[in-house]
Amino acid sequence: MAVVNYEKEGRIALMTINRPEALNALSAEVSGELREAMIDFRDNPELWVAILTGAGDRAFSAGADIKGFRPGPREGPAGGTGEVVRADKIWKPFIAAIHGYCLGGGLELAMTCDIRIAADNAQFGQPEINIGFLPGAGGTQRLPRFVPRAVAAEILLTGDRIDAQEALRVGLVSRVVPRDQLMSTAMEIANTICTRAPLGVRACKEAMIRGYELPLEEGLALEREKVAECRATEDFMEGARAFVEKRPPNYQAK
């Protein structure tokens, strides 16, 4: 059985980590299949937005597969599965639909997504410190950039978890919804993004992600570069024409 279900619904790619019996722990096999799905999503012109979630009712993902830990240097992709999104320059948006446990590498993976929404039963944490380890897939770097530093330090250094409401309060997720509305909400957000000009969406994501790391002047220069690229697309004028003609735009990703 595949450990990642990869489905396509119109323009939306749905990636579901499918090891519910192990709380969707990220084994090497999961990482491999997830990477394959992500690369297919990146390269498939029919797909515009991806949703990432976990099978079953207990977890988005409880993190790296502890049972697979071996002494010595780590095997697999540097920086963990989530880094595929960055390393392979996937500028199409990812939405993480999080329920249950979202721990360790699971939270690190969710933090490589652009939009995080949570079910009311979600719990977040970086428990690596509890097992003599530290986050190794971006957690020590992204968490303090995503939530207030004192909150990040407490999560990272105690290994304690926070619930969905606290995650919302500190800005780790943008919405909390009842568990049974998680996927419909994720689909609704994905569908909304799919009505926007796809090349504009990708340029916007790239400017946002790369811009985080830059001084303001360089970030603004990057934005100007992306604006120039966007103005050269057919969809740029389609958006303007549709506005003037008072009709919905028909974007072609060109």
- Length of the chain as a residue count: 254
Is residue 136 within the footprint of ligand CAA (CB under 6 A)?
Answer: yes
Q: Would you call 128 a catalytic residue per the annotation?
A: yes
What residue type is 206 in one-letter code? E
- Catalytic residue of the set 33, 128, 206, 223: 128
Rounded Cα distance between 176 and 155, Å, is 20
Residue of 14, 123, 116, 19 lying closest to 65 (CA atoms): 19
Is residue 101 within the footprint of ligand CAA (CB under 6 A)?
Answer: yes
Is residue 105 within the footprint of ligand CAA (CB under 6 A)?
Answer: yes
Among 3, 15, 25, 113, binds ligand CAA (CB under 6 A): 25
Among 54, 77, 93, 127, binds ligand CAA (CB under 6 A): 127
Is residue 103 within the footprint of ligand CAA (CB under 6 A)?
Answer: yes
Is residue 23 within the footprint of ligand CAA (CB under 6 A)?
Answer: yes
Q: Angle 149-158/139-146 helices, nearest 10 degrees?
A: 140
Which of the residues 171 through 230 are near ligand CAA (CB under 6 A)? none
Query: Would you tell me how many other CB atoms lie within 10 Å of the CB of residue 140?
Result: 15
For residues 52 and 22, the answer to whether their CB atoms sit within 8 Å is: no
Is residue 135 within the footprint of ligand CAA (CB under 6 A)?
Answer: yes
Rounded Cα distance between 185 and 177, Å, is 8
Is residue 247 within the footprint of ligand CAA (CB under 6 A)?
Answer: no
Q: Which range binds ligand CAA by CB under 6 A, 8-16, 87-95, 97-105, 111-119?
A: 97-105
Among 16, 51, 63, 190, binds ligand CAA (CB under 6 A): 63
Q: Angle 198-212/234-244 helices, nearest 10 degrees?
A: 120
Query: Which is nearer to ligand CAA, 76 or 249 (by Cβ)?
Result: 76
Taking CB atoms within 8 Å and a gap of at least 24, the contacts of 214-222 are none
For residues 144 and 108, the answer to whether their CB atoms sit within 8 Å is: no
For residues 12 and 51, the answer to whether their CB atoms sit within 8 Å is: yes
- Catalytic residue of the set 7, 75, 108, 166: 108
Q: Which range binds ligand CAA by CB under 6 A, 38-46, 125-133, 173-181, 191-199?
A: 125-133
Query: Which is nearer to ligand CAA, 54 or 127 (by Cβ)?
Result: 127
Residue nearest to ligand CAA (CB): 104
Q: Would you call 154 a catalytic residue per the annotation?
A: no
Q: How far is CA 133 from CA 15, 84, 158, in A?
A: 28, 22, 12
What the block records as the tokens of 213 is: 């790391």
Residues in the site for ligand CAA, rule: CB under 6 A?
Answer: 22-23, 25, 62-67, 80, 101, 103-105, 108, 127-128, 131, 133, 135-137, 139
- Could you give the residue numbers annotated as active site? 108, 128
